Structure 1
């Protein structure tokens, strides 16, 4: 395929967001004619116009850079490595957040679900996991659903797989990332079935993760945290996945784990 133009990319994101040219033109305070000319290459958009349209379409920062390059402009949003000295405040914030979530398991991931940090409580999820899956770079979804990973301990595996697949599919629709398309295909090839999320029970609020651990069945509710107003690609693609107890028994076990860690002489089950 030929290298896409800025107009090709703009049309792709407009149709992905299910907007007509008229609807986008109205949002962006421009004419349908001008928008059509940009998409077909009959008009050369300014850098400001591309950024304005990208904002209206909520295009990921990485893809905004790609569109600017296709139009002959320099990228606007930096993409520093997380270990860059300039990213020290972000790393410190991640570490404080992860530590603050304890005794609840939490991990930080990037746009491809690669784990970049985790708190000490995450070890609760790692019992019995094949050490090969823990060799960097660790992909959190692969670690969860691989038959040598967490999957054998997940009580509601088909339901949890269905939940993660739906979430990953939404992420693919938003970002269009080919790496995520390949990851979804890999995960779907693992055994375990798939139960698409159906209508909730009257008292159901969130799909829980149900996990076997030392003869107990634990239940967790997942919470995702992202940075507000990100100004570079790396920060925009970071997220923290934290897991909180969904019942009293799970909360009790987490408190006991913290007590044992603080004082190894504390009796536990």
Structure 2
């Protein structure tokens, strides 16, 4: 008589993450400093790894900190990564760094968002950029993606709305596949209903490898051509900090740089990070 071994919650989760990352058991074993046999035993539920091994495997698969804690809990261990409130005194250096980054981007717009693209902080240039939006979309919590793509937001001013909107939606869907989250998936689906259908023949409106945001200047025939960049706190050991992203809107040409400099309000400290509602 034989006993069938079935994957436990940890084993199933690790196998799902490995499959999602398209990493073989052998490659994962090499990254984590163990053997393919042991990885197979973990996934099948025949072995329960120690706490350090769970962390090592999660790091090797680039699992987000929040989900690493979930893996540790599934293995019966305490979480390894704390999740602080943004107003926690221990995060004062982080808040100071965010303010400094915001100010450094003046006169170009910049925002700090959380994992769901909700606004955490912004500089005065971004506030000026979205001043034409419906005030209801600017009431906290502000969904930055919705603010940009909503018909009462910046959408009417976006010259290449179809192409740029689907560029953003594709990035959101890719993130939802790479790091599954029901709320992120639902948000992408809601935004997809706000924008025009995906263009069948997208135009060659690229700057290098990037899709520029072409934004009409209110009361003018000119337009801004903006490139967006994303920056993360790559060495963060706190869940809250690790999930923050800086999105900066940079000029794609000299005229856009001039227009932003002319329109930007006087330099001012960045908006303080919003209080954590938890």
Q: TM-score, normalised by structure 2?
A: 0.87
Separation in 2, partners of 1:57, 1:197: 36
CA drift at 1:169: 1.8
Give the count of matched residue pairs: 258
Q: 1:178 aligns with which of 175, 182, 190?
A: 182
| Pair 1:140-2:140 in alignment | no
Q: SS of 2:128's equivalent?
A: helix
Separation in 2, partners of 1:202, 1:129: 26
Q: SS of 2:60's equivalent?
A: helix
| Pair 1:97-2:105 in alignment | no
Q: Which runs of 5+ in 1 are unaligned?
A: 263-269
Contact 2:160/2:213 (8 A) holds in 1:
yes
Contact 2:207/2:252 (8 A) holds in 1:
no
Aligned pairs (5 A) from 1:102-251: 102-195=106-199, 204-214=208-218, 215=220, 216-251=222-257
- Residues 60 and 197 from structure 1, CA distance in 2 versus in 1: closer, same or farther, beyond 3 angstroms? farther
The structure richer in helix per residue is 1
Separation in 2, partners of 1:132, 1:197: 34
| Pair 1:28-2:56 in alignment | no
Contact 1:115/1:138 (8 A) holds in 2:
yes
Q: TM-score, normalised by structure 1?
A: 0.89
Instruction: Give RMSD over aligned pairs.
Output: 2.0
| Pair 1:40-2:44 in alignment | yes
CA drift at 1:85: 1.3
CA drift at 1:193: 2.7
Separation in 2, partners of 1:201, 1:110: 29
Which residue does the alignment assign to 1:257?
Answer: 263
Separation in 2, partners of 1:202, 1:74: 47
Q: 2:64 aligns with which of 60, 65, 70?
A: 60
CA drift at 1:27: 2.6
Q: Which runs of 5+ in 2 are unaligned?
A: 1-7, 268-278
CA drift at 1:22: 2.4
Which residue does the alignment assign to 1:18?
Answer: 22
Q: Which has the higher contact order (CA 8 A, sep 6+)?
A: 2
Q: How big is each residue's C-alpha offset from its partner over 1:171-209, in whole Å with a ceiling of 9 and x where there is no partner?
A: 112211211111111111113232489696796342100
